Homo-oligomer: A and B are copies of this chain.
Amino acid sequence: MTVLRYAYLGPAGTFTEEALRQVASSDDAVYLPQTDVGSALAAVRSGDADRAVVAIESTAEGGVTATLDSLATGEPLVLLREVLVPVQFTLVAAPGARLADVRRVSAHPHAWVQCRRWLAAHVPGAVHVPATSNTAPAALLSDALASGDPDAARGLAFDAALVPPAAVATYGLVPLAERVADNPSALTRFVVVGPPGEVPAPTGADKTTLVVHLPDNEAGALLAMLEQFAARGVNLSRIESRPIGDALGRYSFSIDAEGHVTDERVGEALMGLHRRCPYVRFLGSYPRADAVAPLVHVGTADADFVEARSWLARLRAGDVT
């Protein structure tokens, strides 16, 4: 068996690592932590890694610009799978600490924003000590505890820290509170990215991700682009615009369509886009994390396309009976 090498936003203990664990155990795979999304994707492009696991979208922030832009414009890569990770933090502290005593909370600014109401309710008055990453305070706390010096932890600039759940075991920490989040359904969506090659087989509940540019100076071009999907009964689950970068008002659309490139309706919609739009990049078809099969409108199942094709062939041969 080939042991795959996974590049991801490290270090150990990040949400990205949590996503990666859903994909491949570290017993069966090589984990290659990277400093940023761009490096993770570059590692696949250069062949230094077989796969990258990167965040592509989150409930709170929307599309992850670095991921979307790198996928849209660099050397071709394809999405092979998606993974959803709840955005919930664990509050950690030195052993023996009590929630009531917490005055200073270290947290990455994004983490702080997403837990503000919880903190106001459970550690009222606590001040924010900004951290440079989600795992940084975990490392600091872990080092202090590991020093064996009981003053070391007390010498830290914070009493407790918001860290990803995966960081707790990694850094040998003690949870003060778990599932800390203001929006309990907040999620980050990660994708497993690989070099172009085989497309994952359709499962009946798939997504297809695309990048599409619109024709210049054409009024109604966005409407016309959406009609390419509508005419084939293909629903979209995500559509985001990104600047093309050369002039104001020129956009690249990042789209998730319901279905698989091997579905007839998706294939025909893709061909429609390819014919009408100046640029279409296929970023892959892969199983939906929620395994929900799309609603298939009347006349848009594969069998309908196959039957229509044979009907047309008969018409063209002069058989109209």
Contact = CB atoms under 8 A, between A and B. Distances in A.
Interface residues of A, number: 76
A204 interface: no
Interface in A209-248: 215, 219-220, 222-223, 226-228, 230-232, 235-243, 245-248
B183 A246 contact: yes
B238 A227 contact: no
Contacts of A312: 261, 267, 270-271, 274
A277 B299 CA distance: 8
A201 to B, nearest CB: 11
Nearest to A57: B248
A42 to B, nearest CB: 15
A67 interface: no
A235 B248 contact: no
Interface of A: 57-63, 65, 76, 78, 84, 183, 185, 187, 189, 196-199, 215, 219-220, 222-223, 226-228, 230-232, 235-243, 245-249, 251, 261-262, 267-268, 270-272, 274-277, 281-282, 295, 298-300, 304-305, 307-309, 311-312, 315-321
B242 A315 contact: no
B227 A223 contact: yes
Contacts of A245: 59-60, 183
13 contacts: A57-B243, A57-B248, A78-B318, A196-B319, A198-B318, A199-B315, A222-B239, A231-B231, A237-B249, A239-B241, A239-B251, A267-B312, A281-B320
Contact of A309 (B60, B199, B215, B271): B271
A85 to B, nearest CB: 11
B318 A197 contact: yes
A231 B272 contact: yes
Nearest to A234: B219
Main DSSP-derived SS at the A contact region: mixed
A277 B295 CA distance: 18
A321 B196 contact: yes
The 8 closest A-B pairs by CB, nearest first: A275-B299, A62-B243, A231-B231, A271-B308, A276-B299, A196-B320, A198-B318, A275-B304
Given A196-B320, A282-B315, A305 B275 contact: yes
Given A76-B320, A223-B230, A282-B320, 19 more contacts: A57-B243, A62-B242, A185-B247, A196-B320, A222-B226, A227-B230, A231-B232, A231-B272, A237-B249, A238-B251, A261-B316, A267-B316, A268-B268, A271-B309, A271-B311, A271-B312, A274-B311, A276-B300, A281-B320
A312 B321 CA distance: 32
A230 B226 contact: no
B231 A228 contact: yes
